Amino acid sequence: MSALTMAADITFTESRGRVGFGFKRVSEIRVEKGWKDFTGIAEIVLPRNVRDFNRIEADRLFELGDPIQIKFGYDAGEIPIEFEGYISDVADGVPYRLKCEDEMFKLKRGSVTVSRKGTTLKQLLEIIAPGYKIECPDVPLGTVKYTNVAPIEILENLKKELGIYTYFIGKVLHSVDGNSQGGDTVNILLERNAVSENLNRKAKADEKILVRFRSLQRDGKYITFEQGDKFGTVQIRNWPYLTRAEIEIRARRIIEQQKAKGFDGTITLFGIPRIEHGMRVNLKSLFYKNIEGTYYIDKVVKTFSPGGIRQEITLGNKSI
């Protein structure tokens, strides 16, 4: 890995009458993406003495909503796209600091009105996010009614009421229930691939969880169900049209996922192998055998700086 050279490519496509341009020199990049966070974000620090600043009026270079693509990695082959989105904030001064958001930037703006009976999750997402490819379980939602709300508010309600998490990967909108997202498994040897680790070695099986279900039936009545630890952290779900047997299965699955043996915390890796949230990591160690196992990756924070490329991964539940 010492023979590899870091490379970056920041592209701003043509927008609002301003010509497209790009930079291959950048001081710092930070990209943060996680499947529980709705919005992927990025921040870049650009050196002030860049040639493009001279040929384009500085005050017209960057504006809210301008599209941006961020690539960085090592120059052995194609540099991967690490972020696509829009400028969400420009910090004045030297050097330039740009904050960016992924496609969720658009779903935070404008408003929609939805009033439908017998709607599925996919149908609802197609209404509030038209034009995007959607990947999600096609589960029933029953009657939905929202009046003049931002699409992101509907997504927040789905998270609160149903435990459904929604996020973008590129231009594709994903919705998942718990750890149902798929992804490749990457092998990591702690002593070889990690810069540092900050893991909480307290097993999550000790956590107390209480699941409360409320399911609207087609006759207008509700089935209510409660399972778990009496004084545990409450997980509320409001899924319609479930039988009691289906509710019990879902409640048991939620508790198993929450209590899956594993460790909270983060591991900071070098830039290779490349990691994305939604993947799984098969973690091995020469000395700490108690942390070994296959874990979901809930979040990845990537940085590009003079010190190198780093990937801080947040471990999720242990893969069952």
- 258 and 305 share one domain: yes
Look at the chain and report how many structural domains it folds into. 3
Residue 243 confidence (pLDDT): 84
- 95 and 111 share one domain: no
Whether residue 31 lies inside any domain: the answer is yes
pTM: 0.83
Neighbours of 161 (CB within 10 A): 14
Closest to 283 in 3D by CA, of 294, 273, 272, 275: 294
- 161 and 210 share one domain: no
- 307 and 202 share one domain: yes
- 152 and 192 share one domain: no
The string of DSSP codes covering 146-172 is EEEE-HHHHHHHHHHHH-EEEEEETTE
- The C-alpha atoms of residue 277 and residue 32 are separated, in whole angstroms, by 10
Give the CA distances from residue 283 to residues 189, 203, 264, 267, 316, in Å, rounded to whole numbers and listed in that order: 6, 16, 13, 10, 12
- 206 and 225 share one domain: yes
Determine the 3-state secondary structure of 154 from DSSP.
Answer: helix
Helical (H) or strand (E) element with 193: helix 190-193
Whether residue 169 lies inside any domain: the answer is yes
Task: Give the pair of three-digit tokens for residue 245.
Answer: 């047997």
- 94 and 113 share one domain: no
Task: Give the pair of three-digit tokens for residue 130.
Answer: 């038209």
- 302 and 222 share one domain: yes
Task: Give the pair of three-digit tokens for residue 35.
Answer: 């499947």
- 136 and 197 share one domain: no
Whether residue 144 lies inside any domain: the answer is yes
Question: Of 177, 196, 213, which residue sits at a domain end?
Answer: 177
Whether residue 74 lies inside any domain: the answer is yes
CB 188 within 8 A of CB 148: no
Residues with Cβ within 8 Å of 61's Cβ and at least 6 positions away in sequence, in order, are 12, 18, 52, 53, 96
Is the bond preceding residue 240 a cis peptide, omega within 30 degrees? no
Q: Kindly report the CATH number assigned to the domain that includes residue 14.
A: 2.40.10
Question: Of 102, 120, 138, which residue sits at a domain end?
Answer: 102
- 92 and 10 share one domain: yes
- The C-alpha atoms of residue 97 and residue 93 are separated, in whole angstroms, by 8
SS3 content of the chain, % helix, strand, coil (to 5): 20, 50, 35
Whether residue 1 lies inside any domain: the answer is no
Whether residue 260 lies inside any domain: the answer is yes
- 152 and 238 share one domain: no
Q: Do the strands 172-177 and 222-228 form a parallel or antiparallel pair, or are they unpaired?
A: unpaired
**How do the pLDDT tens digits run along the chain, 320 residues long?**
456 789 999 999 888 877 888 888 899 999 999 988 899 999 999 876 665 555 555 567 788 999 999 999 987 678 999 999 999 998 876 777 899 999 999 999 999 999 988 888 999 999 999 999 999 887 788 788 899 999 999 999 888 888 889 999 989 999 987 655 567 899 999 899 989 888 765 555 567 888 888 888 878 888 898 888 888 888 888 877 788 888 888 888 778 777 766 667 899 999 999 998 878 899 998 988 878 888 888 899 999 999 899 999 998 877 75
- The C-alpha atoms of residue 32 and residue 312 are separated, in whole angstroms, by 9
- 304 and 199 share one domain: yes
In angstroms, the first-to-last Cα distance of the chain is 33
Q: Kindly report the CATH number assigned to the domain that includes residue 163.
A: 3.55.50.30
Closest to 317 in 3D by CA, of 280, 286, 285, 284: 280
Task: Give the pair of three-digit tokens for residue 312.
Answer: 């801080």
Give the CA distances from residue 158 to residues 28, 165, 212, 234, 301, in Å, rounded to whole numbers and listed in that order: 35, 7, 16, 17, 25
Whether residue 35 lies inside any domain: the answer is yes
- Domain range for 127 is 107-177
Task: Give the pair of three-digit tokens for residue 247.
Answer: 């509710």
Residue 199 confidence (pLDDT): 76
Residue 1 confidence (pLDDT): 45
Question: Of 102, 136, 163, which residue sits at a domain end?
Answer: 102
Give the CA distances from residue 115 to residues 119, 160, 161, 198, 274, in Å, rounded to whole numbers and listed in that order: 9, 19, 18, 47, 43
Whether residue 230 lies inside any domain: the answer is yes
